Amino acid sequence: MFAFLPPAWMLSLKKAGYWIWLVPVFGIPVSYWWSYGSDHPNAWGWFVISVVFLVIPILDAIVGRDPANPDETTEVPVLEREGYYRFLSLLTVPLLLGMLVYGGWVLAHYEAWNWVGKLGWILSVGTVMGAIGITVSHELIHKDPQLEQMAGGLLLAAVCYAGFKVEHVRGHHVNVSTPDDASSSRYDQSLYAFLPHAYKHNFLNAWRLEAQRLKRKGLPALHWRNELIWWYVISALFLVGFSVAFGWIGAVYFLGQSAMAFTLLEIVNYVEHYGLHRRRLDDGRYERTTHEHSWNSNFLLTNLFLFHLQRHSDHHAYAKRRYQVLRHYDASPQLPNGYAGMIVLALFPPLWRAVMNPRVRAYYAGEEYQLSDTQRA
């Protein structure tokens, strides 16, 4: 749809378009307001999650792909210096936390919903915290400034998944697309086989990596300088706060939206690396991570919603690049839809395999033996 636009125009359009993340955030209170006086109030509890996973994939196909890469010489240095993009990512933190508290208040006080509406509400809030909150936290924890590190950690603590802050940067980015990485899904592995393994090993890996960091400093793992302890304390304080403010339903709400959010993260991990691997070299090491080792999805709409997370190939090749300057590579393996549509597809393993397995085999044409030889868990 936008292929005819000059690249400079496209970059200007995207500069304003990143504000689209506000749509799902404010979709939460809007769905609550619209349920008032409705003949079917429970349906409105499912409004946001329905739009994200039913409407967005269709709009992705209609809107199409993003044709613009910033010019490395003239545009990237300017874009990287602009504080506007950093401000935009940091602004999500207070608004998301405010939405989270508001969602708990609504659930505790709104009597028009039965358990169906309440479940939809919890899953909808968790979808926003996962799709926007964890996406932004992912952007922030890759950056050096302490403010961004703390903001990213706080968003992860709000969904009880602080281990991601440690394991993703020090583990996943080191071992991506190898059998050593719990976040890299294997060829022909179903989502339901992947998720339990990812939950368990990413949690354990985070503690192992933090213990190794402290050991190098001559400190024990259970030390006050273990950042995981502090982040999980904050998660516990969130849980206590929601329980005190809203009773048992507040505790169920906080834990439920957390589970939805971090499950969404792990499904995205499944989608991003399915079947891809780094070749083992003669010396036993794996080849350097490049833009060929992650699935890319250059659909404009979801790229704006997700702060260019779908240009994941460039992110893994250059992890500290800020979202506004991530590039699309035609040579990267390409997903047939945005993340919202691919998440839905992953929920149905036969359909997923029918769509994705031929793409993996085509990408490794002539090297199909590596799909089994190098991807054993």
Q: 264 in a domain, yes or no? A: yes
> HEC string of the chain?
CCCCCCHHHHHHHHHHHHHHHHHHHHHHHHHHHHHCCCCCHHHHHCHHHHHHHHHHHHHHHHHCECCCCCCCCCCHHHHHHCHHHHHHHHHHHHHHHHHHHHHHHHHHHCCCCCHHHHHHHHHHHHHHHHHHHHHHHHHHHCCCCHHHHHHHHHHHHCCCCCHHHHHHHHHHHHHCCCCCCCCCCCCCCCHHHHHHHHHHHHHHHHHHHHHHHHHHCCCCCCCCCCHHHHHHHHHHHHHHHHHHHHCHHHHHHHHHHHHHHHHHHHHHHHHHHCCCCCCECCCCCECCCCCCCCCECCEHHHHHHCCCCCCHHHHHHCCCCCHHHCCCCCCCCECCCCHHHHHHHHCCHHHHHHHHHHHHHHHCCCCCCHHHHCCCC
Q: Within a domain: residue 320?
A: yes
Integer angstrom CA distances of residue 365 from 32, 177, 183, 359: 51, 18, 24, 10
Q: What are the phi and psi torsion angles at 133 (to 5°)?
A: -60, -50
pTM: 0.94
pLDDT by residue for the chain (377 residues), tens digit each? 666 677 778 888 899 999 999 999 999 999 999 998 899 999 999 999 999 999 999 999 999 998 888 989 999 999 999 999 999 999 999 999 999 999 999 999 999 999 999 999 999 999 999 999 999 999 999 999 999 999 999 999 999 999 999 999 999 999 999 999 999 999 999 999 999 999 999 999 999 999 999 999 999 999 999 999 999 999 999 999 999 999 999 999 999 999 999 999 999 999 999 999 888 888 878 888 888 889 999 999 999 999 999 999 999 988 999 999 999 998 899 999 999 999 999 999 999 999 999 999 998 877 766 666 555 44
Report the pLDDT value the prediction gives residue 292, as an integer from 0 to 100: 87
Q: Could you tell me if residue 279 is inside a domain?
A: no
> In which domain, by residue range, is 226 found?
7-271+284-373
In a domain, 276, yes or no: no
Asked if the structure places residue 291 within a domain, the reply is yes
Size of the chain, expressed as the number of residues it contains? 377
- The span from the CA of 4 to the CA of 191, in Å, is 38
- The count of structural domains within the chain is 1
Tokens of 18: 């990143």
In a domain, 200, yes or no: yes
Question: Is 278 a domain residue?
Answer: no
Q: Say which residue the tokens 């991990």 belong to.
A: 269
Cβ–Cβ under 8 Å, residues 316 and 293: yes
252: phi > 0 → left, psi -120 to 50 → alpha, else beta; which?
A: alpha
Q: Is residue 251 part of a domain?
A: yes
Of the candidates 157, 337, 159, 186, which has an alpha carbon nearest to the alpha carbon of residue 265? 159
Helix axes 248-273, 83-109, angle to 10 degrees: 140
The tokens describing 296, both together, are 């890319």
User: What region, left, alpha or beta, does residue 366 occupy, with left being phi > 0 and alpha being psi -120 to 50 degrees?
Assistant: left
* C-alpha distances in Å from residue 63, one per residue of 9, 68, 326, 351: 16, 14, 20, 24
Radius of gyration (Cα) for the chain, nearest Å?
Answer: 21
Distance in angstroms (rounded) separating the CA atoms of residues 320 and 138 = 11
